[in-house]
Chain A
Amino acid sequence: MTVLETMSLLLVAAGGTCVVAVRDPLRQAMLAGFFGILLAILFFILQAPDVALSEIVVGAVAMPLMILVSLAKIRGGQR
């Protein structure tokens, strides 16, 4: 395992722990997007660019957006 692979693995572990540890759904959505980018970097370093591309567009863009929009709808009626 190279230094780059070890570093990105550790970053993914730290990112995943952060997503679980944060309790506020809004912050969690942002962190989940960031976690998606970290995962994409890991996939890219492990020579899986196809999967990395999918992970960026789904994990870092589409999924957090769906969570944000749903949160906005749920919280919309409350002050």
Chain B
Amino acid sequence: MTLRTRRAVFVVAAAVFAGLLLWGFGGLPRFGTFQGAYGLVLNHTAVPERHITDVVTAVNFDYRGFDTLGEEFIFFAAVVGVTVILRAQSDEAPGHIADYAFGRAVPPTSDAVRVLGLGLTPPTILFGLYVIAHGHLTPGGGFQGGVVLATGVLLIYLAGELDDLHGLYTVPALERAEAIGAGAYIAIGLVGLATGSAFLQNVWPLGRVGHLFSAGTVAPIDLAVGLEIGAGLVLLLVTFLHQTIVLRRTP
């Protein structure tokens, strides 16, 4: 197909698409109107019923906790898949970073990056732990906090070398942490079954609204998810970086 016909096809398709889009926009409710009865009900019942102040977390880890369990295992399967695909092949061996530099000197990490990276690492990890621990009180939770934790680990790599990470977080330890996080979610759900209620039913003491120890099973699930996501993402980063920086295809 020549460029001319391709452009003609594009112009016709774009015009039809724009017309349909405008037609569709015309039928939309006004900006900001909300018609979901479920959301309105939850806004009124979540605080008295579950002693939780972040309704989004209440939906994710309590009312629809079973759906989130599925999401957790999607992430779990994705990490397992990536580590399997990126494992060292039989024709790959550890090499040196200078192999790909083709005669150029590998630039050292600048002092500015080093200082900024090391200076930001402790606050980032602390913030990650805070976001995980306060998931039921303020915006955030296990998923967001776990990724922030992993970002803190990434800063260690930015400020130093990949070897620094291997010393701190060996791969078997990461795998275990990820598996424990995923398993803990199910274990917390089974507590509901064991006490004669439903799977993932919020049967733990609810505590006082707004306190750190409140909202029943939501806070422990936050911790489990934080552990799984944090460990899983660090495992993902380490595997990716190992494959990119360390492994070389042997001729």
Q: Do A and B come from one complex?
A: yes
Binding site for B on A (CB under 8 A): 1, 5, 49-50, 52-54, 57-58, 61-62, 65-66, 69-70, 72-73, 76-77, 79
Nearest B residue to A71 by beta-carbon distance?
A: B244
CB <8 Å contact, A62 and B147: yes
Number of A-B contacts (CB under 8 A): 49
CB <8 Å contact, B56 and A50: yes
Q: Would you mind naming 25 contact pairs between A and B with Cβ atoms under 8 Å apart? A: A1-B31, A49-B139, A50-B57, A50-B141, A52-B139, A53-B131, A53-B139, A53-B144, A54-B144, A54-B147, A57-B147, A57-B151, A58-B147, A61-B154, A62-B233, A66-B236, A66-B240, A69-B240, A69-B244, A72-B244, A72-B245, A73-B244, A76-B100, A77-B249, A79-B102
Query: In angstroms, how far is the closest chain B Cβ from the Cβ of A78?
Result: 9
Using Cβ atoms and an 8 Å threshold, which residues of chain B touch A79?
A: 102
Say whether B140 faces chain A, with CB atoms less than 8 Å apart. yes
Query: In angstroms, how far is the closest chain B Cβ from the Cβ of A79?
Result: 6
Using Cβ atoms and an 8 Å threshold, which residues of chain B touch A54?
A: 143-144, 147
A50-B54, A57-B148, A65-B154 in contact; A76/B244 too (CB < 8 A)? yes
Say whether B243 faces chain A, with CB atoms less than 8 Å apart. yes
Give 1 or 0 for each of B240-251: 1 = CB within 8 Å of chain A CB. Answer: 110111000100
Nearest B residue to A76 by beta-carbon distance?
A: B100
A21–B131 Cα distance when bound, in Å, is: 36
Using Cβ atoms and an 8 Å threshold, which residues of chain A touch B147?
A: 54, 57-58, 61-62
Say whether B42 faces chain A, with CB atoms less than 8 Å apart. no
Query: In angstroms, how far is the closest chain A Cβ from the Cβ of B24?
Result: 17
Using Cβ atoms and an 8 Å threshold, which residues of chain B touch A5?
A: 31
Say whether B237 faces chain A, with CB atoms less than 8 Å apart. yes
Using Cβ atoms and an 8 Å threshold, which residues of chain B touch A77?
A: 100, 249
Using Cβ atoms and an 8 Å threshold, which residues of chain A touch B31?
A: 1, 5
For the complex of A and B, 7 pairs with smallest distance between CB atoms? A49-B139, A57-B147, A53-B144, A50-B56, A73-B244, A69-B240, A50-B139
Using Cβ atoms and an 8 Å threshold, which residues of chain A touch B100?
A: 76-77
Give 1 or 0 for each of B129-158: 1 = CB within 8 Å of chain A CB. Answer: 001000000011101100110110010000
Using Cβ atoms and an 8 Å threshold, which residues of chain B touch A52?
A: 139
CB <8 Å contact, B151 and A61: yes
Using Cβ atoms and an 8 Å threshold, which residues of chain B touch A65?
A: 154, 237
Say whether B32 faces chain A, with CB atoms less than 8 Å apart. yes
Q: A54-B143, A66-B240 are in contact. List 20 more A-B contacts (CB 8 A).
A: A1-B32, A49-B139, A49-B140, A50-B56, A50-B140, A53-B131, A53-B144, A54-B144, A54-B147, A61-B147, A61-B151, A62-B150, A62-B233, A65-B237, A66-B236, A69-B240, A69-B244, A70-B240, A72-B244, A77-B249
Tell me which of A50, A61, A73, A79 has the highest count of chain B C-beta atoms within 10 A of its own C-beta.
A50
Using Cβ atoms and an 8 Å threshold, which residues of chain B touch A70?
A: 240, 244
